Structure 1
Amino acid sequence: MITRVTQQMMNNTFMRNLEANNRQMEKLQSQLATGKSIVLPGDDPVVAARAMFFRSNLTEANKYVDNASKAQLWLDTTEGALHNSTEALHRVRELLVTASSDATSVDARRAIAKEIEQMKEHIKEIANTSVAGRHIFAGTHVHNEPAHVGPDGKIEWVGNDGFIELEIGMNNLMTLNISGSQIFKVDDKSIFDVLDEVTTKLLDGNTPSNEISSYLSKVDDFMNNTLDYMAEIGARQNRLDFTIHRLEGLILGLEEAKSNAEDVNAAKVITELQMQENVYRASLSVGARIIQPSLVDFLR
């Protein structure tokens, strides 16, 4: 069966093809303007799904890096606080060595007692160290100072033994804090209680030297305990450094994969756009010949 091709059919076909050319040119122009190979998910659902997958992974990886940076700040602050505490305890030990000598006068012991009192206040400030308003040794009671002056004027420990964890990877949690009771308490007696006791004995001019020297071992216990936890903090910092390095490498890989999936090849798109423009001009030229003049055109 022979189908008769009418002028109207030719005109309609020409207009459909011209519209298709316009859509293709618009798509290429949008790609150049946005730098993306897809503007809408419907342009290429497979590529769009792949790009969304890479974007989701990038968001997750960047969140882990952000958490790791926060953990790094917390651990660095903890390490500095423990180092300062060790130095303060070392100074206390030096003072006790001097005070335990029989050659030290009563007045000298009382002067030493005043300096130890100041070291106690310094250690209290260390125990109340905070990062961004959160006290690092307070357990989970981060908004309250753990070393608190009680009604009797003595320093009380009001922090708890809770742990704070931060996610630095998929199913990868890191404990940020060390409970202050682990640092500033040994055998259920706090360093503040020990310093209060020795200060009282130094102010009492009748305390034997050997009784003063007995506190050296107690101060050593606190120093050794602090050094042990400094080593633990160092181990966590090393783990965190490796984790951050791994995450940064992962992010670079995901950025490259995302770019390959959705970014345009500018040179290729420009070439295709030029070709499409040539096709468009050729279509217009052919269309001018296809669309015949009507009777109205002759009557003008």
Structure 2
Amino acid sequence: MRVTQSMLNNNMLRNISQSYSSMDKYMDQLSTGKKINRPSDDPVVAMKGVNYRSELTKVEQFERNISEVHNWMDNSDESLNESNQALQSVRELLVQASNDTYEENQRDNIAEEVSELRDHLEDLANTKVNNKYIFNGTNTLGKRVEDGNVDETNNSAVNIEVMDGVTLQANVNPENVFSQDLFDDLQEIEDALRNPDTRGDDLDEFIDVVDGHSQNLVNERADLGARMNRVEMIEDRLGQQKVSTNKLLSDNEDADIEEVIMNLKMQESVHRASLSAGSRIIQPSLIDFLR
């Protein structure tokens, strides 16, 4: 095959164009810090990047779910703590009122305190977080208690997914803490205190009733505490998973800047050599001689 001047020129121009393309690639890597800037640069790296980002998105969603669970549990724990304190106050008032030396008006004052504590427990039962009632099962738009009447139609667990295939109950069982029996018993205690015929021995019986409700609160709070510990462990695991996935994503896509600079310098040298060689390959034309 006869090699012509035109063939030499075309080959030289094609090689110089490829040299420009290589320098452009390294310049992109240097300016963006990434190995690839479009899927066509390396389909394998691009596909791995999609998978890693998908995994990160899932982890970040689970972290948001964990925050929601924390919100439910922390507010539930605080409300249960306040509720138990209120019941302990009722118990102390009963112990005081069971003394037969108390006069009728003094017991009326105690009954008024019990009434206020009952209203306070109703407020706690209707605790609202982010426009959701947290003590009414999955019916988060409805109050648990209204005018002393408890909505016991929904005691379902509120389950939130915190990892792949792992869900945790975010709420407590409202039936065990804010039942109709609780508010009925408190009303009965108030009525007994206002009744002048009530004796101290009659009030002693209510102490055991209050202790029973208090124990229900303690048991439910203990169960909540166990779940709170598990949430913290899952949160730590998600944090580790996020760190490892970010590292894999970085290893997959981030360019080694030192290596990129070295390759760019080498390509610049190759390009200069190509231009120098090309200037020797292109022969003078007839017009050059006529100048």
With normalisation by structure 1, the TM-score equals 0.94
Tell me how many residue pairs correspond in the alignment.
290
Pick which of 105-114 and 44-53 moved more.
Answer: 44-53
* Deviation per residue, 1:43-87 (Å, 9 max, x gap): 111222222222111111121122112211211111101000000
Query: How do 1:95-106 and structure 2 match up within 5 A?
Result: 95-106=93-104
Report percent identity of matched pairs.
37
Deviation string for 1:16-38 (max 9, x for gaps)?
11111111111111111111101
Q: Is 1:196 matched up with 2:190?
A: no
How much does 1:217 deviate? 1.0
SS in 2 for 1:292: coil
Distance 2:24 2:155 in 1: 64
Structure 2 match to 1:162: 156
Aligned-residue offset at 1:203: 0.9
The one-character-per-residue Cα deviations of 1:276-298 (angstroms, maximum 9, x if unpaired) are 11111111111111112222333
Q: Tell me, what secondary structure is at the counterpart of 2:162?
A: strand
- The answer to whether the 8 A contact 2:127-2:134 is kept is yes
SS at 1:138's partner residue?
coil
- Tell me, in whole angstroms, the C-alpha distance in 2 between the residues paired with 1:5 and 1:30: 37
Cα displacement (A) at 1:210: 1.7
For residues 47-126 of structure 1, what are the structure 2 equivalents within 5 Å? 47-126=45-124
Among residues 121, 125, 130, which one is paired with 1:127 in the alignment? 125
Q: 2-side partners of 1:294 and 1:158: how far apart?
A: 99
Q: Deviations over 1:86-126 (max 9, x none)?
A: 00000000001111111211111100000000001111111
In structure 1, how many angstroms separate the alpha carbons of the residues matched to 2:125 and 2:144? 7
Q: Any gaps of 5 or more consecutive residues in structure 2? A: none
Query: Residue 38 of structure 1 aligns with which residue?
Result: 36
Please identify runs of 4+ aligned residues in structure 1 that moved more than 4 A: none
Of 189-198 and 30-39, deviating more is: 189-198
Map of 1:285 onto structure 2: 276
Q: Quick one: which of 241, 253, 258 aligns to 1:262?
A: 253
Instruction: Kindly provide the amino acid, as one letter, of the partner of residue 31 in structure 1.
Output: Q
The equivalent residue for 1:225 is 216
For residue 190 of structure 1, give the secondary structure of its aligned residue in structure 2.
helix
Amino acid at match of 1:222: H
Q: Which residue of 2 aligns with 1:251?
A: 242
- The 3-state SS of whatever aligns with 1:167 is strand
Q: Which whole-Å CA distance do the structure 1 matches of 2:86 and 2:38 have between them?
A: 64
More divergent stretch after superposition (193-202 vs 288-297): 288-297
Q: Distance in 2 between matches of 1:246 and 1:283?
A: 55
Contact 1:184 1:222 survives alignment (8 Å): no
Other structure's SS at 1:39 match: coil
Task: Specify the alignment match of 1:152 in structure 2.
Answer: none
Structure 1: how far apart are the matches of 2:287 and 2:87? 107
Whole-angstrom distance in 2 between the partners of 1:116 and 1:294: 112
2: CA distance, partners of 1:121 / 1:198: 14
Match of 1:209 among 194, 200, 209: 200
Look up the match of 1:235: 226
The letter of the residue matching 2:99 is S
Structure 1: 5+ residue runs without aligned partners?
A: 150-154
Q: What pairs with 1:128-143 in structure 2 (closer than 5 Å)? A: 128-143=126-141
Write the mapping of 1:168-187 to structure 2, written as runs, cut at 5 A: 168-185=162-179
- Stretch deviating more after TM superposition (189-198 or 212-221): 189-198
Q: How far off its partner does 1:163 sit?
A: 1.7
Q: What letter is aligned with 2:166?
A: N
Normalised by the size of structure 2, how large is the TM-score?
Answer: 0.96
Answer whether contact 2:138 2:155 (CA < 8 A) is retained.
yes
Q: Deviations over 1:187-246 (max 9, x none)?
A: xx4321111111111111111222222111111111000000110010001101110111
- Coordinate RMSD, CA, aligned: 1.2
Write the distance in 2 (CA, Å) between the matches of 1:228 and 1:267: 61
